[in-house]
Structure 1
Amino acid sequence: MTDKTPEPNQSDEKGKTEHGWWKRRRWAAAELGPWEQKEGLRARIAELEAILDAVARRAASDPDRSDVAPTYLEKARHELGKACEALSHHAHPALRGAAHLGVAQSHLDATQNLIIWLASPEDVKAMLPQLIALTEEHFPSKDPRRVRIKEIAKAVQTNGELSLSQRAFLAETASLARRLLHKETLRVRSFVRIVTAVTGAILLIAIGIAIVAYNWPGMVPLCFTPEDGAKFMVVCPTHSSASTPVKPHTNQIAQTAQAGDYLVIEIVGTVSATIASAASLRRIRGTALPYNVPLVISALKLPTGALTAPLGLLLMRGGFVPGLSALDSSAQIIAWAIVFGYSQQIFTKFVDSQGQALLDAVHGPHSPQTGEDAKP
């Protein structure tokens, strides 16, 4: 009996190929947004590697630092390796495409803090302007740490010596400032996720209302009963009844309502909210963070407008607005739906303010200062 090697299954090979293509496509899509920031971090890693080598050589030649230099050097290189690992394509979940940037930045921050411990007094002296700027970005003007770091800088500039306690203070203060920056960035990410979740919930509610109203149009009709002399009629967003001398009853209003009434009003409200969202772009400055706050806030306005339009008409139908409880035509109903769809700005402007406040809190060289620092 001869052994026969089984031929490979072409369908299995095709499935593997398609799966591999989809996997590559999925990871590529996850990298589209933060790709520039990722490459920027890779460039920063290359810079820190060169700086670390130079600082390590000078520390090894210093008798006072030669005994501790290998330990700090090993830890710093380990952190750089962790940063490179975090930036690899398969080191982060696809649905959290920007999370690896924060992880890599944390390892880079640890590397920079270890360099302060490793560096010679002359190297630390060269770093002092950067450390002072870092503390000024993230600590209030009267914070004692800002005062202390300036005192240390003045002392080092005067005598050129750096004590162990001063080095420890510089390293810990810089580490805290960088952690504060990271926390501010995480607040922005949390805000984006919350707004995205709320947007999805509002969208589902709007879709659910449209489906329910389509199947049961007479349940809560968006119809009005204007009176013209001694005659009455039922006016709905997409249909109107003939005039009758008798005031319409509930069943007649329900029969006049159409399945597409809510759908039309929600579409009109969404279009109106889109215009409001476009108009609000004039106040957006954009952000360098990998979390797109302006985009999620703009997206929140659309389903909100789809809800405020029918809700506003229901308030008018219930007599909440005096003198506007009986619209005369479908065109008037649509016109008021446009107004109510645009009025979602009343609710979402607070979200706009909160989002901008969070972006302003992530201080940088070109970020507006707040509080006492904003005063001339």
Structure 2
Amino acid sequence: MASRTERRFTPGRVREWWRERRSWELSEETRASIRKLKTLISVREGLPALTDEARAVLAAAHDELDAAERIVTFNAHHRSPLGSHIMAAHTHLNAAALLWLKSFLASPQEVSPYLPGLRAAVIEHLPVTDTRRESVERLRTISTAEEVIRLTEAVEAAQSVALREKLRAASFVRIVYCVAGFLMMLAVGVAVLTAIWPQAVPLCFDPTQSADPTGPPTSPDSPVPYRVVCPIGTDDAPMSQDLDVNIGAVTTWGDYIVVQVIGLVAAGLAAATALRKIRGTSTAYPVPIALALLKLPAGALTAVLGLLLMRGGFVPGLSALDSSAQIIAWAVVFGYSQELFTKFVDRRGQMVLDAVRGPASPPQDTEGPGNRRPPPDPLEI
């Protein structure tokens, strides 16, 4: 008999973790909603007075639930479940809920117990000016087939809006991942090119030699009054009259790599700090993780670009750093300062999370304090 450790680390276990690593809880929630709605449909199908039209509608609802169950059963398809399968399953689940609701056309008064939850779903997603929402808000009980149809139309519109909200979150995550990947490739490309041609655009400075006895040592043998300082090397006594020759003698293939690594580490600290401002999400799309990953290559590039601006004299009084330690220190500052650029993306990401209604992502208050309804049950949207 295999030991517990052997069972835990089999290839099948690894594949299972890989497929369920992001949305296992949401998949289980979807399965629970499917079972709950199947029970409601089965109970309704057992009513002897049910019309043939209602039975046909409930049969179609069963088909939708079967489709949703196949999607969240990972062995039944080959798509990696990274969030899109949850959305697809909920699309079928919503369709089944609508069909179940339409089965009450012959007995509309039986919908009244479900009216508060359905009305909450409509209010949660439809704007105040929507006429379908207005018609549902006025309902206090259901007594006619016309009212059931109006309620069904409003719920279907709310489901459509909820789907678009989740699609925007998915699209935002994909865009951020693409931009982060492009910036990472750009940072790697800069590191490779500067390692091959380290003298092309060096990150070196030429501070004037100090006559202060407490400052850097001077060399009477040097024909020039400056030193050469690079991220991982210095020359206190340049021997050529040509500045480019002196810098080329000190610069190495690792200068850019060191600066980029320092900027990436500083950006990682900034990302960890920024996460305290980001609320979580109940969707299967990791918006906070995507935003954090975007900061890493951005920090590596801003560290390099900041030092190049200083070398070009863009910052008055800081055009010539005195030591490698100062260069590294400014690389940390510039790497962390990517927050100045990515904070706008962070705000947009939080807006996307706020737009996706759910208990972990509070909706934006568009009706004034105290007028928002609680989030509806997943079955109802």
Query: Same fold, TM exceeding 0.5?
Result: yes
Unpaired segments ≥5 residues, structure 2: 1-9, 211-223, 371-381
Q: Which amino acid aligns with 2:49?
A: S
Note the C-alpha offset of 1:91. 4.2
Once the two structures are overlaid, the 10-residue window that deviates more, 241-250 or 75-84, is 241-250
Distance 2:361 2:173 in 1: 20
Distance 2:56 2:184 in 1: 55
CA separation of 1:300/1:374 partners in 2, compared to 1, >3 Å: closer, same or farther? Answer: farther
Work out whether residues 280 and 361 of structure 2, in 8 Å CA contact, stay in contact via their aligned partners in 1. no
Higher relative contact order structure (alpha carbons within 8 Å, sequence separation ≥ 6)? 2
CA separation of 1:247/1:348 partners in 2, compared to 1, >3 Å: closer, same or farther? Answer: farther
Higher helix share: 1
- Please tell me whether residue 226 in structure 1 is matched to residue 207 in structure 2: yes
- Please give the secondary structure, in 2, of the residue aligned with 1:202: helix
Work out whether residues 234 and 248 of structure 1, in 8 Å CA contact, stay in contact via their aligned partners in 2. no
- Please give the secondary structure, in 2, of the residue aligned with 1:51: helix
Match in the other structure for 1:359: 353
Once the two structures are overlaid, the 10-residue window that deviates more, 241-250 or 319-328, is 241-250
Identify the match of residue 61 of structure 1 among 49, 52, 56.
Answer: 49
Match in the other structure for 2:338: 344
Identify the match of residue 19 of structure 2 among 24, 30, 33.
Answer: 30
- TM value normalised by structure 2: 0.85
Note the C-alpha offset of 1:365. 5.1
- Please tell me whether residue 271 in structure 1 is matched to residue 265 in structure 2: yes
Identify the match of residue 288 of structure 2 among 252, 273, 294.
Answer: 294
Note the C-alpha offset of 1:180. 1.0
Note the C-alpha offset of 1:97. 2.6
Once the two structures are overlaid, the 10-residue window that deviates more, 114-123 or 341-350, is 114-123
Distance 2:289 2:314 in 1: 34
Work out whether residues 91 and 100 of structure 1, in 8 Å CA contact, stay in contact via their aligned partners in 2. no
Match in the other structure for 1:142: 129
- Please tell me whether residue 101 in structure 1 is matched to residue 101 in structure 2: no
Work out whether residues 126 and 157 of structure 2, in 8 Å CA contact, stay in contact via their aligned partners in 1. no
Work out whether residues 76 and 110 of structure 1, in 8 Å CA contact, stay in contact via their aligned partners in 2. yes
Unpaired segments ≥5 residues, structure 1: 1-20
Match in the other structure for 1:81: 66
Q: Number of matched residues?
A: 346
Work out whether residues 92 and 99 of structure 1, in 8 Å CA contact, stay in contact via their aligned partners in 2. no
Match in the other structure for 1:50: 39
Note the C-alpha offset of 1:225. 0.8
Work out whether residues 281 and 361 of structure 2, in 8 Å CA contact, stay in contact via their aligned partners in 1. no
- Please give the secondary structure, in 1, of the residue aligned with 2:282: coil
Distance 1:54 1:107 in 2: 20
Distance 2:267 2:55 in 1: 61
Note the C-alpha offset of 1:173. 1.1
- TM value normalised by structure 1: 0.86
Distance 1:246 1:361 in 2: 63
Match in the other structure for 1:162: 144
- Please tell me whether residue 178 in structure 1 is matched to residue 159 in structure 2: yes
Q: Which amino acid aligns with 2:53?
A: V
- Please give the secondary structure, in 2, of the residue aligned with 1:372: coil
Distance 1:155 1:41 in 2: 29
